[in-house]
Amino acid sequence: MSNLTSSIDPACAARSSLTRPEASKPAPAGPGAGLPTALDADLERRFGGIDRLYGAGAWHVLARLRVVVAGIGGVGSWCAEALARSGVGAITLVDMDHIAESNVNRQAHALGSTLGQAKISAMAARVRDINPACQVHEIDDFVSAENIADILRTAAGRDADGGTGLGVSADVGAGDTGVGDADGPSGPILLDCTDQVPAKIAMILTARAQGWPVLVCGGAGGKTDALTLRAGDLSVATHDALLARIRQQLRQRHGYPKGGAAGGRPRHRVPRMGVPCLWLDQPVILPSAWADPAAACALASEPGTAAPGAPAASASKAGSAVPAAPQGLSCAGYGSIVTVTAAMGLTAANWAIQQALVRARQRAPLA
């Protein structure tokens, strides 16, 4: 395979010839205590397989790559794990949730020892343990239209004045991120692993305005067959209510090309929307409780648990209303399994890696 050429930050290009810290030095204290440092680790040995697969210089390309992973759950945690194990140099983790016992069946950072921890903190520690040279930025927040600009600026390593610091100004709108050309012509890569429509739309619109690559992950709950995973444009995604709602709102409110011609007539060829997505081409499997009015009533006893597409409330024999089914991937919502959520997360990470390598080839044409 032809070689890829790229410069690399010296910290990310540490070699086995680097001296290790003296044994007499005191052990570090704090959250990172006991974790290897960039000087401890033989990074060439850890990530040399990247060059053997893609060609000399590929690892250096990934060591310069910046990726934002929004949503550190069943999909996003495995995505971040794969990026770390691929030697990616800077990863921004965005989430405000904490690890619960119900996360253990599908989330990489969910362990008995991490219950109650912030997801970004547990994942950050895991990433640093895998790749001590990786710059990990933790953003303890959920993505919204109001904060997406600041998140992206932080990921690009720019301060409010366009410098190289990580300061973030809260008074910049979504239309002006102040993000420059941090990693070549397209800047950092955004991987959307969230499950909220407003957050996904905010990321799509901001990435389009800035010319950043973005990949949108569909729903992984209620799916059992990882072999039905598909990649393609949002316009052709099927069996995914979350992506369908996003598609509808982008077409109705943001000028994206519609699927039908004037008068509602179907088109022979649906125009592409330019939004890369992952989805599972499998009908969703609803929890058995949703079909059992009594069980659904017990599970949905708290307000705000109605799920889009769930069975509508109906009257029981006693005349009382049965609440709609619970929402999401919680223990009382859609069922989930790691073989599906991890497959989607690993595929999202692979998409980012391929984007970075393609960019590198475009900057330095192969011989």
The helix/strand/coil state of 351 is helix
pLDDT at position 302 is 38
Q: How far apart are CA 320 and CA 8, in angstroms?
A: 66
Percent of the chain predicted with pLDDT > 90: 57
Q: Which residue has the higher pLDDT, 168 or 278?
A: 278
Q: Confidence class of residue 301 from pLDDT cuts 50, 70 and 90?
A: very low
The answer, as to whether pTM is greater than 0.85, is: no
Q: Where in the chain is the domain with CATH 3.40.50.720?
A: 39-259+270-283+335-363
Q: Residue 361: what pLDDT? A: 86
**What was the pLDDT predicted at 344?**
98
**pLDDT score recorded for residue 155:** 82
Structure tokens at 285: 């499997």
- Arithmetic mean of pLDDT over the chain: 77
Give pLDDT tens digits for 233-282: 999 999 999 999 999 999 999 999 987 665 666 667 789 999 999 999 99
Continuous H helices in 220-292: 241-253
What is the predicted pLDDT for the residue at 174? 31
Confidence label for 28 from pLDDT (cuts 50, 70 and 90): very low
Three-class SS state of 217: strand
Q: What DSSP letter does each residue of 123-183 carry, written as one string?
A: HHHHHHHH-TT-EEEEEES---TTTHHHHHHHHHT--TTSSSS----TT--TT------BT
- 182 pLDDT higher than 50: no
Question: At 15, is the secondary structure helix, strand, or coil?
Answer: coil
The total of other beta-carbon atoms located within 10 Å of residue 75's CB is 34
In the numeric block, which tokens belong to residue 270?
A: 């649906």
Please check the confidence at residue 186 and state whether its pLDDT lies above 80: no
pLDDT band at 5 (very low <50, low <70, confident <90, very high): very low
In CATH terms, the fold of domain 39-259+270-283+335-363 is: Rossmann fold (3.40.50)
How does residue 288 score in pLDDT terms, banded at 50, 70 and 90? confident
pLDDT reported for residue 270? 85
CA pair distance 71, 215, nearest whole angstrom? 13
- Where would I find the H helices in the chain? 43-54, 58-63, 76-85, 119-130, 148-156, 197-210, 241-253, 293-299, 338-363
191 vs 363 pLDDT, higher one: 191
165: pLDDT strictly greater than 80: no
- 14 pLDDT exceeds 70? no
Mean pLDDT to the nearest integer, 116-124: 98
Residues contacting 33, CB < 8 A, separation 6+: 27
Q: How would you class 216 by CB atoms within 10 Å of its CB: exposed for 0-12, middle for 13-18, buried for 19 or more?
A: buried
pLDDT at 153: 82
Quote the CA–CA distance of 348 and 82 in Å, as a whole number: 9
Inter-residue contact 33 to 13 (CB < 8 Å): no
Inter-helix orientation angle 76-85/338-363, to 10°: 50
